[in-house]
Structure 1
Amino acid sequence: MKNHIVSAFRLTFVMLVVVGIYLVIVYGGSKVLPTEGNGEIINYKGQKFYANIGQEFKSEKYFHGRPSSVNYNAAGSGGSNKGPSNEEYLETVQKRIDTLRMQNPGMKDTKVPVELATASGSGLDPDISEEGALYQAKRIAKVRNVSEEQINNLIKKQTEKPFLGLLGPSKVNVLKLNIALDQLK
């Protein structure tokens, strides 16, 4: 019995050291990031927005982000837990695709980018792909009465390249893109 207790204490001590080192590495690593590990807060028109959390934009004059299975509620983030073989999920995705094609009539023959039809695991993804933004460009240009070229240039300016050119895909933060869109002359 004494051997078991000593072994348990040794294992507990080793795990505390390993987990402690891991936490120090993660915390220290976060401090070298541009936001120092904190959420990015944007003050716009007297309101505070978190750029790291997906926002809902319903108006057709704005870019729309990924759908949210939690209605963009950061307090209850989570996915739908429905897989690609679930009939209800497939119906939901098809409805989203149909809605997107209806909202973006100039893109009927273009493949809908996957992130515009499927929710992320957290339901709060703030980013879409450059293709997802370009898919919506014709609608935005028409509604705002600006050239599609201006919208495409704005998307290119707002596109964030992969970290170190290697890690992750190019992406566009929908909140920042919509703020830049409002500031477009």
Structure 2
Amino acid sequence: MENKPTKQWTRRKFLWVALAAPLPLALAQPGPTLPATPACGDEDDEPTPPQTEGPYYKPRSPERKSLLEGGLSGTKLLIQGYVLSTGCKPVARALLDFWQCDAQGQYDNQGFRLRGHQFSDASGRFVLETIVPGLYPGRTRHIHVKVQAPNRPVLTTQLYFPDEPSNASDRIFDRRLTMAVQKSNNLWQARFDFVLRV
């Protein structure tokens, strides 16, 4: 009997594995042998879904790739990924503006702790150093983000963590926004690729 790739190996999942060279091999999911170049135009080319901004967004965050700073407690989190078009092309110089609560579930509304923006590189890649957010009352664990290709509309959305008990009770949780996460005692590593309609 012929072994066919399972349906879960869509174009985006293959791209995730193909572009994950800078990530530890443990993050690459096992699967069938796939062609060297992913085909575009499949059912998985849908743009990243939008979500509510929430009440704690602040404009003019500092430009930085690390939100870590002195006195900040919590497990370190490294998020990596790409900003891509629905045609599978990298989006260079895309703005990514992140904000989140601290390990105790509190947002900094006075300053810019755990807030910052950056731009994707020429290959569409971004890297963010932060901490694992705590649980904000009534919500599951999440990170807010705005993503904008140059001179295009802003996508406002949220990123989620897999296997969180509160995912099931969060009224706006969307599994399509769940990051791939590898956990260790001192560092969680996560992967998410944003797909923009450009």
Higher helix share: 1
Q: Greater CA radius of gyration, 1 or 2?
A: 1
Higher relative contact order (CA 8 A, sep 6+): 2
**Structure 1-normalised TM-score?**
0.29
**Greater share of strand residues, 1 or 2?**
2
